[in-house]
Amino acid sequence: MISVHSTVSRMESMRTGMFGPYGGAHVPPVLQPKLTTLADAFLEARVDPAFRATLRMYLRDYVGRPSPLYYARRMSERLGARIYLKRKDLNHTGAHKINNTLGQALLAVRMGAKKLIAETGAGQHGVATATAAALLGLECTVFMGAEDAQRQAPNVERMKLLGAEIITTDAGTATLKDAVDAALAYYIDHPDVFYCLGSAVGPHPYPAMVREFQSVIGDEARAQIVDAEGRLPDAVVACVGGGSNAIGIFSAFLNESAVALYGAEGGGTDVAALRTAATLSRGKPVVFQGSYSYCLVDEHNNPVDAYSISAGFDYPGIGPEHAYLKDSSRVIYEPVMDDEAVAAFHMLCREEGIIPAIESSHALALVQKRLAGSGKLVLVNLSGRGDKDLGRF
């Protein structure tokens, strides 16, 4: 097994943008200076006591951190494992996305930017970006696929209420990949804006930067589970789309070899036929949207359209750190099919009175598939709430 994530390797990835062979900044020359400036500003800000204190203040007083760790008693009894839920659904805006958008928005202010742009699929990152922009007095434009805008209409309305301009695209399947393409094109043409990227994907420094801002999830959860149970969990489970909520919670346990890590991918309806979003299970390494990582591709290595019941998973790529963790076998990634996720969604609603996002429901389904009857202590990252998914299945 490849040795993963000593302190030195974590710092090295922040500096170089590489996770083993994966990552980098494969971008047009016009973008390279902007990304270099961003990387330098991020490295300076993350060690600036004033920046860190301001971010901590907003996470505590505005977001409501630390988010609770909840022992799911009825679900535990049903599945035969001790299951704790890290309740990101109770964050302000209802998901983990606000951790990252606040960090990036504060960095934008530090760099003198006046406008944030963002891409969004399920809408949670768009809402979180619009929220951070309103809080800090920044303009905001959010790019969204037309298909996602229709199926996530409540989040579109929230973004508009928060003052964001919504630009939809009909390109491709009119989902997340196409929204990223539109946002990148705008970023190239408007050098004065700050691109607030929502997941641990894309060119350097975004994967390392997003991990840094989302690592608060793992830091909190590690302390909370030790406080509750007196030890580390046997397993940590998270859903994986682009990969930000998963890398956020995994980051605190990567060096703990006794803690198994599981990532639930969007299996869709047919993994073998590529009617899926299971990038790590079915894809191969290529350069895609600024980074070298796994991607769902055809026989000519061209990206194909991903499919999942989850709008947050409709993306053929994956963050480069997850690619490295797959190859090193540190994390086990497994597809969860649409029907399995829907069943897990209903189970949590009825057993615990919690309505999870359909993305988070993939993680719950993987617990049922992998760990039911094990008696193990399991930590699940409940990445968001399910208001946006009501009436869709």
Catalytic residue positions, numbered: 97, 119, 383
Supply φ then ψ for residue 277, to 5 degrees. -125, 20
* Nearest residue to 101 via CA among 114, 85, 116: 116
Where does residue 310 rank: exposed (0-12), middle (13-18), buried (19+ CB within 10 A)? buried
For residue 71, give every residue at least 6 positions away whose Cβ sits within 8 Å of its Cβ, in sequence order, or none: 82, 83, 84, 228
At 47, the amino acid letter reads V
Question: Which residues does residue 140 pair with via DSSP β-bridges, in sequence order?
Answer: 116
Taking alpha carbons only, the member of 94, 164, 96 closest to residue 135 is 164
Kindly state the tokens that stand for 6: 């000593």
Distance CA 162, CA 135 (A): 9
Q: Which residues have C-beta within 8 Å of that of residue 281, sequence separation ≥ 6?
A: 265, 267, 271, 333, 334, 335
Token readout for 31 is 């973008």
Q: Please answer whether residues 106 and 79 qualify as being in contact, where contact means their C-beta atoms are separated by less than 8 angstroms.
A: no
Half-sphere exposure of 73 (CA within 13 A, CB side): 0
Pairing of strands 69-71, 331-337: unpaired
CA-CA distance, 141 to 137, in Å (whole number)?
13
* Whole-Å CA distances, 49 to 39, 44, 111: 18, 10, 16
Residue 391 token pair: 């009436």
Strand order in the sheet with 291-295: 18-19, 22-23, 291-295, 284-288
